[in-house]
Amino acid sequence: MSQDGALRTPHGSTLPSLTWLLLTLLLLLHLLRNRTMSTTLPRRFLFLIAAGIVSVGVFYHVSGTHDVLLQVVDAVTTNPHSIRSTDGLVEFAARIRGIAAAKFLNIVWLGIGMYLLLQTFCIPGTIALNVALGSLLGVGLGVPLCTLLGTIGACLCYTMSGLLGGQVVERIDAKLTKGKGLPRLKTQVAKHRSDLFVYMLFLRLTPVLPNWLINLASPIVGVPWKLFAAATCLGIFPQTYLSVRFGSLAHLLSASSVTEQSPSGTRESIVSMWDTLLLAVLAVTLVVVAKLRKKFIATTGTSEAAE
């Protein structure tokens, strides 16, 4: 076998793995020496990024997860359909199950790491990961895991934004929303300060503002961390449930259909009546609880004032 062929074997990924780590270190060292960048990003934060990337890279390489990453990248790049389409997600889930047949734990660990990475740095792709983890773990394990990962990743982004400061977030907002998103969120948060949890939950459940803006701007506009985490956990549950369930049923789907084949031979919608009922009950329950809490606080405050 030629030397090039050896580099393509599973155990021959040493060179690209070590090259990736070396380039990462060189880039971060350059950022640390750059005066302009060092005044924008705290040095401690940059060192933390460097340590995190190197640690993850070493762990992935030693555990063999890096080889699985290369297979997943190949599954995405050779997919005949867009990963954002239904057909593309079905094909992607099938490839992921094929890879997991030999290295199940590796690909689950890879999915967890990629989920946190994408959420922390506001990179799209968590829907595809929900589908992939749903195809591997099913609804019972996939939904709680993906909801937890989504919440932790959003909180990491929240923390990172707090460390970076408002100027960096303002620059990102100016570039992506022409400077309109951050002032709008700041105004609305100040307006709904008395029922901020309900408002943050509303933002998570509706596409009024992009999630990346909510994650980055929340610490800047004064949204408390605990309230942010709770609203995120509840708000991402419906979308997480539906995408994980889609992944759990992906092996029953054809590349040209979005329905599932039942054992009796009849075709049923991927979103069943029970799914719709569950999400509706959840939404109503959250709204009722929030309203009762607000009313209870108002009543308690009035009683204390009268005394």
Let me know: does 244 contact 133? Beta carbons within 8 Å. yes
pLDDT of amino acid 244 = 92
Let me know: does 158 contact 168? Beta carbons within 8 Å. no
pLDDT of amino acid 268 = 46
Count Cβ atoms below 10 Å from residue 180 Cβ, excluding itself: 11
Shared domain for 303 and 212, answered yes or no, is: no
Tally of domains in the chain: 2
Shared domain for 117 and 229, answered yes or no, is: yes
The answer to the question of residue 134 being in a domain is yes
pLDDT of amino acid 219 = 92
Shared domain for 73 and 221, answered yes or no, is: yes
Which element (helix H / strand E) includes 259? strand 259-261
The answer to the question of residue 75 being in a domain is yes
pLDDT of amino acid 297 = 55
pLDDT tens digit at each of 307 positions of the chain? 433 433 333 444 455 555 555 655 565 565 555 554 444 455 566 666 666 666 766 766 666 677 787 888 888 888 777 777 888 888 888 889 988 888 898 889 888 888 988 898 888 889 999 999 999 998 889 999 999 999 999 999 998 888 877 788 888 888 888 888 889 999 989 888 888 888 898 888 877 888 899 999 999 999 999 999 999 998 898 889 888 988 888 767 644 444 444 444 444 455 566 666 666 666 676 666 666 556 545 554 444 445 5
Q: What are residue 261's DSSP bridge partners?
A: 267
Which residue range is the domain that position 305 belongs to? 267-307
Shared domain for 278 and 149, answered yes or no, is: no
Shared domain for 288 and 211, answered yes or no, is: no
Classify 124 as helix, strand or coil. coil
Shared domain for 200 and 280, answered yes or no, is: no
Shared domain for 193 and 278, answered yes or no, is: no
Shared domain for 88 and 188, answered yes or no, is: yes
pLDDT of amino acid 152 = 94
pLDDT of amino acid 175 = 86
Let me know: does 253 contact 93? Beta carbons within 8 Å. no
Shared domain for 242 and 283, answered yes or no, is: no
Shared domain for 154 and 287, answered yes or no, is: no
Shared domain for 216 and 114, answered yes or no, is: yes
Q: In the block, which residue shows the tokens 């709680």?
A: 144
The answer to the question of residue 57 being in a domain is no
Q: What are phi and psi of 261, to 5 degrees?
A: -95, 115
The answer to the question of residue 145 being in a domain is yes
Shared domain for 168 and 277, answered yes or no, is: no
The answer to the question of residue 290 being in a domain is yes
pLDDT of amino acid 32 = 54
Cα(242)–Cα(238) distance, integer angstroms: 6
The answer to the question of residue 218 being in a domain is yes
Taking each helix axis from N to C end, the angle separating 211-221 and 225-235, rounded to the nearest 10 degrees, works out to 160
